[in-house]
Amino acid sequence: MAKPKKTIIEAGNTYDGNQSWFYREIFKQGDFKLRVEIRVNAYDFQSHARIQVWNEANLEWKPLHSIPHSKMESLKAGISYTSKTCSTYGFQPDRNALVAMAEKILF
């Protein structure tokens, strides 16, 4: 069975704050709206990688899958909160793993 086409709602982008770099992407795939959020913090245990699905009935994001900080590839990418800029490149391994798992769960 073919996976439904993705439609980008918010392209993957990075922003900084609170000694962290964040990556966020929102897209629609099939009947589902999905949000990828990855945070790389100065303290590894405060980092997270998760994908959420929009619940239209409750108008809120619901957890679908996450990667424990101890298994996050983004933490190995050399992303530093002291950097002035951050590309999306270092977040891609975790982003791709989250999206792949979401596709297994939903499709």
Short-list 36, 23, 3, CA closest to 90: 23
Say if 1 falls within a structural domain: no
Say if 49 falls within a structural domain: yes
- What is the tens place of the pLDDT at every residue in 66-91? 999 999 999 998 888 888 888 899 99
Model confidence, pTM: 0.92
Say if 71 falls within a structural domain: yes
Q: For position 40, what pLDDT does the model report?
A: 95
Say if 55 falls within a structural domain: yes
Say if 64 falls within a structural domain: yes
Q: How far apart are CA 94 and CA 62, in angstroms?
A: 19
Q: Is the pLDDT of residue 14 over 90?
A: yes
Domain of 58 in residue numbering reads as: 6-106
Say if 101 falls within a structural domain: yes
Q: In the predicted model, what is the mean pLDDT of residues 40-45?
A: 93
Say if 10 falls within a structural domain: yes
Q: For position 1, what pLDDT does the model report?
A: 64
Helix H or strand E encompassing 92: helix 92-106
Task: Give yes or no for a contact between 12 and 94, defined as CB atoms under 8 angstroms apart.
Answer: no
The total number of structural domains that make up the chain: 1
